[in-house]
Amino acid sequence: MMKKMIELTGYGLQVYFKGSRFIMPLVVIIIYEYTMYTIMPVGVVDSFVMTCYFVFFVLVWTGLSTAADENPVMEQVQLLRVRSSFCYYVSRAAVPVVLGLLVSAVCVLFPVIQNVLNHKALFMRPLTAYDVLNAFLLVAGCSFAGGALGGLLHPRVMSDRKLAVVLTVLFSVLTAVRTGLVQEIPLFRFVLWLLPPVDKIASVYGDADEFRFVQTVLLSAALAGYAAVLFAVKSFICHKRKF
């Protein structure tokens, strides 16, 4: 079963990279990284917190595009070949997860390389392996949540693609501004808790100069858990609705 899941995940990644949908996100990532890390010096924690939000939105975009790219005929063929709905849907969830890890690695390693090339003068204080580990965990967690949210309104979950795009953008924006929105209108907390806890990163690290590993692990676990729930919900709906 594991071999089938790996092969299906690899096939999904091949389909994504053979098309042209990955080009614009890649261009946006390159522009962001060069813009963010060409003005020196920058803060270690606050720059990576900004990257968390950036990667979240990029993976929402990626999750939306990968879901839209899925061909119903090819889906049925793959399901028939593997003869396991569980195997198939796990592999579909693994595609945005792998993409998220790739994007996270690029967005975290780029400033590390820039720091070395600039004689370790990129950041306001020395960058450590501890900082890089914390940053990667947080950015990866945001990528998982973004990919899951972007792919939630799959064509078999919501056939109206224009409405699906509008709702996905709305959910993403509300995720980013949830803390301020709840402060202004407290009643929203009873609804907005359903959104991914990306805003908690800014709440914890907004004014911090150092990472706290326990907090990082808890935030990353919460984001990964949220993504797992969304992937499960989407898969369950798709399985029940068939084709």
pTM of the model: 0.94
Output the pLDDT for position 141. 97
Output the pLDDT for position 243. 65
Q: What are phi and psi of 21, to 5 degrees?
A: -70, -20
Output the pLDDT for position 156. 87
Q: Which of 106, 102, 84 is nearest to 94 (CA)?
A: 102
Tens-digit pLDDT string for the chain (243 aa): 788 888 889 988 998 898 888 899 999 999 999 999 988 899 999 999 999 999 999 999 999 988 877 777 888 888 878 888 889 999 999 999 999 999 999 999 999 999 999 999 999 999 999 999 999 999 999 999 999 999 999 988 998 989 999 999 999 999 999 988 888 888 888 888 889 999 999 999 988 999 999 999 999 999 999 999 999 999 999 888 876
Q: Which of 143, 152, 154 is nearest to 223 (CA)?
A: 143
Would you say 150 and 63 are in contact if contact means Cβ atoms under 8 Å apart? yes
